[in-house]
A and B are shown apart, each in its own frame.
Chain A
Amino acid sequence: MLLKKLTEAIGVSGGEHEVRSVIVKEITDKVDHMYIDKIGNIIAYKKGNKNPNKRVMLSAHMDEVGLIVVNIEDSGLIKFKSVGGIDPRVLLSKIVYIGENFISGVIGTKAIHLQEIEERKKALKIKDLYIDIGTSNKEETENLINIGDYIAFNSKYIEFGNNLIKAKALDDRVGCAILIEMLDKEYDFSLYTIFTVQEEVGLRGAKVAAFHVNPDIALVVEGTTCSDVPGTESHEYATRLGEGPAISIMDAASYSDKDIAKTLYQIGIDNNIPVQYKKTTFGGNDSGAIHLTKEGIRTGAISIPCRYIHSPSSVMNKNDYYNCIKIINLFLEKIEGEDFHGFHG
């Protein structure tokens, strides 16, 4: 399955080569033109049948949060820092892959028997942690690992429960998968799909790709936080798993174009497709960079709810995935006849 391939590929921000080649392989036969820009974004183009000058851009980022090697200790242990936002508490007792040869290492911690009572209560910080690859000194590690090597979670794609998926990097390989599926259809307008780099470290890929494409309308497809879990009040639920894709109204980086947001939501309601609004203004996504491109671009965002996002074990519901595809399909059909600049859904 597409999502399995995409989530098990590695692509920490700035080191997206593996996931990029997986995506390139998937889309080569589906697009009219494709190229990789100067910072590593994939820009794929499908020419419109009737109005090729009208440009719609779908965007998903292919990078994932991860870690990077910053020092090799005399003991052979590896010190690291995070790339993108990671709660250090999810790192304890995990297995990771390091560098281009995917060398396995473990993030171990002091045995509970040897901890003081106070230590047990304190959250460890990244500076307290290290990775052990089984070597016994600096030289042995240096033969295998370089400073600056990217480190990714070792986490398999697993289906479980009632229609759920557990994987790493669902943020935003789920968006990449949806974009790839959207390339199966023909449209009147030209469709650009961009798979961006470096979203997790500051929306950098999208800024450059959007400038290049300069679309009339942009839609960001994301994996977003989902907090419908114990310990959280229901009014704090940003999204709910299994209740449809979430439409953004605003977040810390942008307002969605009102017409786009309203239209996406209404398509769900009118067609009995589960849909929800994202109920937090926390965080941001590539819309933040895209909507500020050139004179400004009308941009919306639709997201798949993901529990435990930015951890080795993020969780999504397959129904949300299929319903998201349905809504985007209907949205693209609906705007086919529209004059984008006067577009009012």
Chain B
Amino acid sequence: MLIENILEKLSNVSGVSGSEIKASSLIDEIFKKTCDKVKIDALGNIIALKSGNNRTNNRKIMIAAHMDEIGLMVKNIDKSGFLQFINVGGIDERTLLAQEVIVHGKNDIFGIIGAKPPHLQKKEEQNKSTRMEDLYIDIGLSEKDARKQISIGDFITINRSFTYLKGKSVSGKALDNRAGIAAIIQCMKELKYIKHYLDVYFVATVQEEVGLRGATTSSFNIIPDIGIAIDVGHGRTPDLAKEDTIELGKGPAIALGANIHPKIYKRLVDIAKEYNIPYQIEVNPSSSGTDAWAIQVTQSGVPTGLLSIPLRYMHTSVELANINDIKLTGRLLALFIASINDTDLEEWLCY
């Protein structure tokens, strides 16, 4: 299957932080096709091992991408059957009005996010963005019927179908970070044809959006020699500063900063140059805000790298990415893994 078609499935499936089960079943199925061993840990992380070609090596690299997405959660069912809700992760309240949603109750229930109509709003209200406490979900059921289907705490996702745009652009919900998962799958594909000595642990982590929690436990379990996180980075649009953004279609961004081991950064850049893979540089002055942060401080510490896939409109339901960037991310990762075959890790990573 083409990587864009895999990404379509990944984007459309639901998996709000803390309730990743549907996304996880899909990813588990895909990982099993190429990996030797796949297990799911206590928090729900999927850990897949693709063994190295040199069994005497026993070195481990962890490649992590989070599979959870931001979403909403039912807070209240009112006397007319409307639902009040809260956010799970960093939702932009301004983007919620008139969205279609799926409430994941006993069954999946369709609804619309509504607010007081504009003609009943006071002038000053019309200049303000919509706030979550003034919004509600209309599911078209009475309170009694709503309660039969829905409970407080049920997760909610935006009902959005993945869309193919022009060029190699695609748009959908949850591309943060299903684009990262797709890049991992691309890496698995590439590794079929490349000899690698390292044991590769591919991890689809849970609960990144609420505090990097899945990466914390999965990296403790694996204790990798090297950890690489794959996530998304802010894509450039004219209303954003150049220094805050990376360009779509110009390849993966290799991250740099306190969170990143300098030798890993350098090796990623060298490999990109050697194989003519277009790349960009993303500077993370302190925290990268990604799983790389949790991985770096696991047990006695893990040398860590981070690749970012450029993504416009992050944390909206119309996130926009470029398929080539995702493919190149997977390819760069695979070539990086293979480049370590004969490297003496202690010597290489020594400060």
User: Which residues in A have some Cβ–Cβ distance to B below 8 Å?
Assistant: 73, 75, 77, 87, 89-90, 92-95, 103-115, 120-124, 132-136, 140, 144, 155, 158, 160-164, 166, 225, 227-232, 236, 280, 282-283, 307-309, 311-313, 315
Contacts and interface: CB of A to CB of B under 8 A. Distances in A.
Contact of A108 (B112, B249, B320): B320
A313 B315 CA distance: 21
A157 B167 CA distance: 28
Contacts of A313: 98-100, 112
Contacts of A104: 163-165, 171
Contacts of A155: 100
B25 interface: no
B128 A106 contact: no
Contacts of A162: 140-142, 145
Contacts of B41: none
B167 A135 contact: yes
Interface in B237-273: 237-240, 244, 248-249
B4 to A, nearest CB: 12
Contacts of A92: 94-95, 97, 316
Contacts of B302: none
Contacts of B126: 87, 123
Contacts of A123: 94, 126-130
B38 interface: no
Contact of B318 (A73, A106, A282, A283): A106
Given A106-B163, A108-B316, A132-B165, A308 B94 contact: no
Contact of B316 (A90, A93, A280): A93
Contacts of B317: 93
A161 B315 CA distance: 28
A87 B240 CA distance: 25
B120 A108 contact: no
A153 B337 CA distance: 45
A312 B244 CA distance: 32
A93 B95 contact: yes
Interface of B: 78, 80, 82, 84, 90-95, 97-100, 109-112, 114-120, 126-130, 134, 136, 138-142, 145, 160, 163-171, 234, 237-240, 244, 248-249, 289, 312-320
Given A113-B90, A120-B94, A282-B119, A161 B316 contact: no
A312 B95 CA distance: 13
Q: 4 closest Cβ contacts across the A-B interface?
A: A161-B140, A134-B169, A134-B165, A108-B313
Contact of A109 (B82, B141, B316): B316
A110 B240 contact: yes
Nearest to A110: B239
Contact of B98 (A77, A132, A134, A311): A311
Nearest to B115: A231
A111 B92 CA distance: 8
A112 B92 contact: yes
A283 B119 contact: yes
A104 B164 CA distance: 8
Nearest to A144: B166
Given A106-B318, A114-B244, A160-B110, A229 B136 contact: yes
22 contacts: A73-B238, A89-B129, A93-B95, A93-B318, A104-B171, A109-B92, A111-B315, A112-B90, A120-B93, A123-B94, A123-B127, A132-B312, A133-B165, A133-B169, A134-B165, A136-B249, A144-B166, A162-B141, A166-B110, A227-B120, A229-B116, A308-B98
Contacts of A229: 82, 114-117, 136, 138
Interface of A is mostly: loop
A231 B134 contact: yes
Contacts of A95: 160, 163, 171, 318
B238 A94 contact: no
A109 B119 contact: no
A140 B165 CA distance: 12
A89 B320 contact: no
Nearest to B322: A134
A113 B110 CA distance: 29
A7 to B, nearest CB: 14
Contacts of A89: 94, 97, 129-130
A236 B127 CA distance: 21
A133 B316 contact: no
Given A95-B163, A122-B128, A311-B97, 17 more contacts: A75-B238, A87-B126, A90-B98, A93-B318, A108-B316, A109-B95, A112-B92, A112-B315, A114-B234, A120-B94, A123-B127, A133-B169, A134-B167, A166-B100, A229-B116, A236-B120, A313-B99
Contacts of B110: 158, 160-161, 166
Nearest to B90: A112
A149 to B, nearest CB: 14
Nearest to B101: A313
Contact of B99 (A93, A112, A132): A93
Contacts of A107: 318
A126 B169 CA distance: 24
B166 A133 contact: yes
B167 A94 contact: no
B315 A105 contact: no
Contacts of B84: 230
Contacts of B139: 160-161
A220 B232 CA distance: 52
Contacts of B244: 114
Given A111-B234, A140-B167, A120 B90 contact: no
A307 B115 CA distance: 10
A124 B92 CA distance: 13
Contacts of A311: 97-98
